[in-house]
Amino acid sequence: MEQAFRTALHHSGAAGLSELLQFEAPDPQQRQLRCPCGQQAHYQALRSKQVLTMLGQARILRPYYLCSHCHQGQFPADVELDIENTELSPGVRRMLALVGQDAPFDHGRQQMELLAGLQVTAKAVERTAEAIGEDIAQIQKLQIQRAVQLDLPIMIGEPVPILYVEMDGTGVPVVKKETLGRKGKINDQPAHTREVKLGCIFTQSKWDDQGYAIRDADSTTYTGAIETAEEFGKRLYLEAWRPGTAVGAVRKRKSSSATGQNGSGIWPTNTSPARCRLLTNFTLANTCGTWCESYIRTIRHSNKLG
């Protein structure tokens, strides 16, 4: 009974949504649009399209424009509704990305049918999750580029006494195309894995009765990627500054601590994996583009002192 009632509600909702998505032909004075080629695109007709929404299949009727110069068509309504070149609504795409991020894609397909009453293919889950992942990766790259150019948010609040940056890396199996041109661990053998790096950032301001450090509650954030040590160092630096973290006024911190694992590719193999307290003002000036290398030099110096 529950399933039948939900299905009926979805059908009614999809029908109502379809009614809202019936656009009218534009007025005569609005039948031209600027084309990317620099010419004018002219209104041709109203065209329909099926879109899978959170309520089920809906039909949209919208104006179509065509440029006679480059023969490129446009659907302004698709751009406005964020359904350009896709038959999945923004809400459905978010759902597919969510179920596809931590389970096999076919399992995600089953979850969509069970939890949302939507029938999709495992390939749709895969393509959508990967597409949104690519969009997120591009946004993160822009944020990292801004960070190394010192375009960072202004921090407010009390200075952080101690900031910990922990990181490690391990090899994970990947498809063959991801290892093309990469040397393997054995001479004359191709690589079969890529190193995924994981970073953890948190603060510490208290000690217990025995003098052991206590991690501040709700201060931990994580970041991870498959990239070089230099690139990952910048990612870690951005994570420490990212708005919404509990790091606070990182630039004013009194001391820092870092942990790396031997042989992980993040620290050199002759660096001790023990936690090294860095009594240093690790400011923005010496991090631009060389964050990881500077950190390694500081840790080496700490090892010699210790």
Give the DSSP per-residue string, 102-130: SS-HHHHHHHIIIII-----HHHHHHHHH
What residues are paired with 185 via a beta bridge?
none
More confident position, 69 or 177: 69
- Backbone Cα Rg of the chain: 26
Cα separation of the two ends of the chain: 70
Residues 197 and 276 in one domain: yes
For residue 98, is pLDDT > 70?
yes
Residues 134 and 198 in one domain: no
Identify the band that residue 268 occupies on the pLDDT scale cut at 50, 70 and 90: very low
The mean predicted confidence, pLDDT, of the chain is: 77
Q: Tell whether the torsion through CA atoms of 141, 142, 148 and 150 is positive or negative.
A: negative
List, as own/partner pairs, every contact residues 73-81 make where C-beta atoms lie below 8 angstroms and the sequence separation is at least 24, other chains included.
Answer: 73/41, 73/44, 74/33, 74/35, 74/41, 75/47, 76/33, 77/23, 78/49, 81/21
Residues 207 and 283 in one domain: yes
Residues 52 and 169 in one domain: no
Q: Which of 158-162, 164-168, 231-235, 299-303 has the lowest mean pLDDT?
A: 299-303
In a domain, 185, yes or no: no
Average pLDDT over residues 223-241: 85
Q: Which domain holds residue 114?
A: 93-145
CB atoms within 10 A of CB 262: 12
More confident position, 244 or 190: 190
The per-residue pLDDT for 1 is 81
In a domain, 157, yes or no: no
Residues 198 and 132 in one domain: no
Name the amino acid, one letter, at 293. E
Residues 272 and 175 in one domain: yes
For residue 296, is pLDDT > 70?
no
Average pLDDT over residues 101-107: 88
For residue 28, is pLDDT > 60?
yes
Identify the band that residue 154 occupies on the pLDDT scale cut at 50, 70 and 90: low
- Residues in the chain, overall count: 306
Question: What's the number of domains the chain is made of?
Answer: 3
For residue 48, is pLDDT > 80?
yes
Q: What percent of the chain has pLDDT over 70?
A: 75
Average pLDDT over residues 88-106: 91
Residues 175 and 289 in one domain: yes
Residues 44 and 71 in one domain: yes
Average pLDDT over residues 135-147: 85
Domain endpoint, select from 72, 87, 102: 87
Average pLDDT over residues 140-156: 75
Report whether 262 contacts 271 (CB < 8 A): yes
Name the amino acid, one letter, at 199. G
- Phi first, then psi, for residue 203 (nearest 5°) are -115, 160
In a domain, 156, yes or no: no
In a domain, 153, yes or no: no
Half-sphere exposure of 97 (CA within 13 A, CB side): 16
In a domain, 70, yes or no: yes
Residues 171 and 283 in one domain: yes
Domain endpoint, select from 38, 56, 87: 87
The per-residue pLDDT for 174 is 83
CA nearest neighbour of 160 among 199, 206, 198, 200: 206
For residue 298, is pLDDT > 60?
no
In a domain, 203, yes or no: yes
Residues 198 and 260 in one domain: yes
For residue 245, is pLDDT > 80?
no
Residues 42 and 56 in one domain: yes
The per-residue pLDDT for 238 is 83
Residues 266 and 169 in one domain: yes
The per-residue pLDDT for 300 is 42
Report whether 65 contacts 76 (CB < 8 A): yes
Q: What percent of the chain has pLDDT over 90?
A: 33
